[in-house]
Amino acid sequence: MKTTGRIAVVLLAYLLAWTAPAAAQTRPPSEAECQLQRERVADHARASEAVRRSVAARAATFPAPKPAAAAAPATAATATPGSPEALRARLEQIPAERQKLEDQRLGAVLRFDLGRASQIQGQIDALDAERAKLDQGLASAPAAPTPAAPTPVEGKPTAATDGDRIPCAEMPGVLEAAVKTRRKELGARETQGGAIPLVALKGQSAEQIARELTAQFSAWPQAATQIGLLDQDGNGRLDGVVDVPAKDLFRVYRQRSDGTLSVEVFASAGAGAGYGEMTRRLEEQVLRRTNRRLEDLLAGRPASAVRVVGETAEFSVIAAHFLAGNFAEAARATGPVARSVEFENIRGEPVRVLEIAAPLAGAIEQRRLVVVTVPGGQEVWEETSIQVRPISYWQSDVNLSVARDTRTAAGAIVGTRAITGPITFSVDR
């Protein structure tokens, strides 16, 4: 076991990581920080009617901008078809339409609905072709005065102008209120700081998505104590769960149309090979064969600071090999290694987790015991055993079993113990 002094150092590091952001908020945000906060508020407002109403109510306490005296420009509906005004009006509409299609396409890809994603891509290509044609038409059209900015309609502010009316000094509080509202809508407690309501992912590549997630999670190692709640479609329903198993690595769990969970990993530029493809395939199989749901994952994931109760010297090394899919290397451990931690999940329930990795004859066994304290003074115990035997570089055989029961605070089993397995299968690289 590590010494008490080493554990105290780890706890102090977590404490400093959690208190630093709070201290930073005592000063007014810079112009760049304010703009980022406005964008975050606007993103949450697009996904939540409650946030939109809250931002509008806050903005109403500040003076509204005076309407411009200039007349409104010609729109696509009033301009002569084919005129420069009509071409410009249509060009102004295309970016918003394209962004909406991009969001829908990404949502389809993350749901593995490739047919729908292909259909949407065709619509995007058609919009790009239309834009190119309009650009050519505008370039060959007679020169015309640049249309004036649209006149704001007093009393009917848009989501963007609502946020713009709020002073920068007020934006941290507005953003915090928006985040609390989104937490509650997505099933977390308003005050659960480790639950991160994520805005819709818009990146086209894995690296772009990793950058978006990096901007929304805290820096490592605090990110390991957070759980991301993804509402990709902006309908107030949980579409995915995101955690950070290693530095600069984001693991996204999504529910497929058949009810099973998918696992995708997005790595920032420069991240090491901390999460292997074999491990990803293994985890997908385990989730599918045990009928896991997003709610089940949230129950056993930290949404608060993690307290390390105890950890053996080689645990982090063996755990890193397992996470990277280096099962043969993990099986070379000289003996069992373990770690015990405590934290709160998104419902504020106390959780204890004991992880053990033990070498077998040519295999590695990973045991994970999760104990969740539920209302009524009882505890839900779930122990998962995964034995992985590397057959070759390309294939590993797996033996899986899960035991679940409810117990009193004293440890006595209440009711019947549910056992799944043993289940045997293989995973390929």
- Model confidence band, residue 26 (pLDDT cutoffs 50, 70, 90): low
Cβ neighbours, 10 Å, residue 137: 16
Range of the domain at 417: 307-428
**Domain shared by 82 and 117, yes or no:** yes
**Domain shared by 12 and 156, yes or no:** yes
Total tally of structural domains belonging to the chain: 3
pLDDT digits 0-9 by tens, 179-200: 999 999 998 988 888 999 998 8
Which tokens hold the place of 4?
């008490």
- Provide the pLDDT for residue 278: 93
For the chain, the farthest-separated pair of C-alpha atoms sits apart, in whole angstroms, at 85
- Model confidence band, residue 144 (pLDDT cutoffs 50, 70, 90): low
Which tokens hold the place of 146?
């640049």
- Model confidence band, residue 137 (pLDDT cutoffs 50, 70, 90): confident
Q: Tell whether 86 is covered by a domain.
A: yes
Q: Tell whether 200 is covered by a domain.
A: no
Mean pLDDT for the stretch of residues 256-280: 86
Which tokens hold the place of 400?
């899986």
**Domain shared by 81 and 26, yes or no:** no
Please report which residue ranges of 141-205 form alpha helices under DSSP H. Answer: 159-165, 171-185
**Domain shared by 50 and 160, yes or no:** yes
Q: Looking at the predicted structure, is the pLDDT value of residue 400 above 50?
A: yes
Cβ neighbours, 10 Å, residue 257: 8
> What single-letter DSSP state applies at residue 138?
H
Q: Looking at the predicted structure, is the pLDDT value of residue 139 above 90?
A: no
**190: helix, coil or strand?**
coil
**Domain shared by 89 and 156, yes or no:** no
Rounded Cα gap, residues 35 and 219, in angstroms: 20
**Domain shared by 17 and 159, yes or no:** yes
Question: Are 345 and 303 a contacting pair, CB within 8 Å?
Answer: yes
Q: Tell whether 329 is covered by a domain.
A: yes
pLDDT digits 0-9 by tens, 151-185: 444 444 455 567 788 888 888 999 999 999 999 99
Please report which residue ranges of 66-150 form alpha helices under DSSP H. Answer: 84-110, 114-140
Residues 6+ apart with CB under 8 A from 165: 59, 62, 63, 64, 65, 157
Which tokens hold the place of 51?
């946030």
In sequence order, what DSSP letters do the residues of 343-406 get, joined into one string? EE-TT--EEEEEEEEEEETTEEEEEEEEEEEETTTEEEEEEEEEEEEE-SSSEEEEEEEEEEEE
Rounded Cα gap, residues 140 and 180, in angstroms: 52
- Provide the pLDDT for residue 14: 38
pLDDT digits 0-9 by tens, 80-135: 666 777 777 887 888 878 877 777 777 666 666 677 777 788 888 888 888 878 77
Q: Which of 151, 167, 202 corresponds to the end of one domain? A: 151
pLDDT digits 0-9 by tens, 188-244: 988 888 999 998 888 888 889 999 999 999 999 999 999 999 998 888 888 899 999
For 293-307, b where at least 16 C-beta lie within 10 A, e where not — what string?
A: ebeebbbbbbbbbbe
pLDDT digits 0-9 by tens, 348-362: 999 999 999 999 989
Residues 6+ apart with CB under 8 A from 316: none
**Domain shared by 418 and 347, yes or no:** yes
